[in-house]
Amino acid sequence: MRILQTSDWHLGKSIHGQDLLPDQKKLLDDLKNELISNDHDALLIAGDIYDRSIPPTEAVELFSDFIESMVENKIITIVIPGNHDSSSRLDFASGVLEMSGIYFRCRYDRITEPIIVQDREGNSVQVFALPFVDEVVVKAEFPGNDIRTHQDATAFLVDMIRGSKDPSIPSILVAHTYTGREPLRSDSERELLVGNQGLVDIEVFHGFDHVALGHLHRSQVPSRTNNIQYSGSLMTYSFSEAGQEKSSNVLELDGDVIVSRDMVHKMPRKFSVIEGEMNDLLMDTRYEGYRDHYLSVKIIDKALLVDIHRRLLERFAHILEIDQPALHVDAAGPDHITREDADDPSKLFSLFLDRFGWAEGKERDLACSIFYDIRKDIERKEVRS
């Protein structure tokens, strides 16, 4: 038996105005080829299919096409909503889709219903699907159970699922949550709730042969004891994730044991962060390999530069952000302008030259001389008027 675990597709996402849907389509085509060519029996998608609750039409069409291919190839597909998804929208026509082996589990009243995956040899695995937990909704649907926090709600629902397991066959739990074992280190990972309210203790998920989690964008195993694994996101979604490998997990049944291995995704276009002086960025050969990457560029020059974006685009066609830290205004720093400075035009001009890297020398002296002459000329005109 072979099952593919994936999550956090975020279809429809853009970064700094760059539409990522073509990249996402290429990666979904790769997933489709893996599922079909290597005879996978099932696919688990652990939430955040879309990047927002009302996704763009093109993202919905892309997902629809993918699901159609799963139906055509008789690959059981189990989907839960994440915190970015709309549960009610994903749940549309779920009853009809189940007749074709596509299981959208978006309601808490169905969490104890296992989905049985069976391979050609007759081996079986029971899969339970837990939608993203909203403790307010859980309190309303299951009153009188002393549910106060996100942790309480998740533990209550997982206990219900655990009590429904058939102990004679291996079990998988699919969920979308943050276990708290790893800090959220990616800019694209949205905090579940304020502070630590969204954290769920890792021990809540004990008792399953495999726990397939979504939400964290970096592939990781927060608990081998409890067989918990995050597959990570479909692709890179922020420059804080630059350099991370993205992957899905291939789960295989070895007797009654579920073993996992990573299947690394080949990015259509890499995300990279580069920095240097402007002239080096434009001319130095060590940056040549970044021409086709999505780029965040950090310019370390202190002087004010002209036409930065256009000049860099002549070499790097896919720049998404540019930063020149020397030009940041830090009100608490040494360049803070006092009221006394503001009343002295010469002092203001001197601070301006300091800010943009005009060191002491002939050029600075010339600039100060021109400023002085212009200022005097203006003052004379004001007196005449």
CA distance linking residue 199 with residue 281, whole number of Å: 42
Mention every residue, 6+ apart, whose C-beta is less than 8 A from residue 196: 180
Q: What is the pTM of this model?
A: 0.83
SS (H, E, C) 117-183: EECCCCCEEEEEECCCCCHHHHHHHCCCCCCCCHHHHHHHHHHHHHCCCCCCCCEEEEEECECCCCC
Provide the residue count of the chain.
Answer: 385
Where residue 368 falls (left for φ over 0; alpha for ψ -120 to 50; beta otherwise) is: alpha
- Which pLDDT belongs to residue 181? 57
pLDDT (tens, 9 = 90+) of the chain, 385 residues, equals 999 999 999 999 999 889 999 999 999 999 999 999 999 999 999 999 999 999 999 999 999 999 999 999 999 999 999 999 999 999 998 899 999 999 999 999 999 999 999 998 899 999 999 999 999 999 999 999 999 999 999 999 999 999 999 999 999 999 999 886 555 556 655 554 444 557 899 999 999 999 999 999 999 998 888 899 999 999 999 999 998 999 999 999 988 899 999 999 999 999 999 999 999 999 999 999 999 999 999 999 988 788 899 999 999 999 999 999 887 765 444 455 555 555 677 777 777 777 666 666 777 788 888 888 888 877 777 666 6
Per domain, the residue ranges of the chain are: 2-264, 271-327, 339-384
Rounded-to-integer distance, Cα 135 and Cα 198, Å: 10
Fold classification of 2-264 is Purple Acid Phosphatase; chain A, domain 2 (3.60.21)
pLDDT of residue 355: 67
pLDDT at 333: 47
Rounded-to-integer distance, Cα 215 and Cα 7, Å: 7
Pseudo-torsion of CA 127, 4, 55, 140, nearest 10°? 20
How is residue 193 written in tokens? 């709730």
- Measure the CA–CA gap between 155 and 135, rounded to whole angstroms: 11
Residue pair 368/362 in contact by the 8 Å Cβ criterion: no
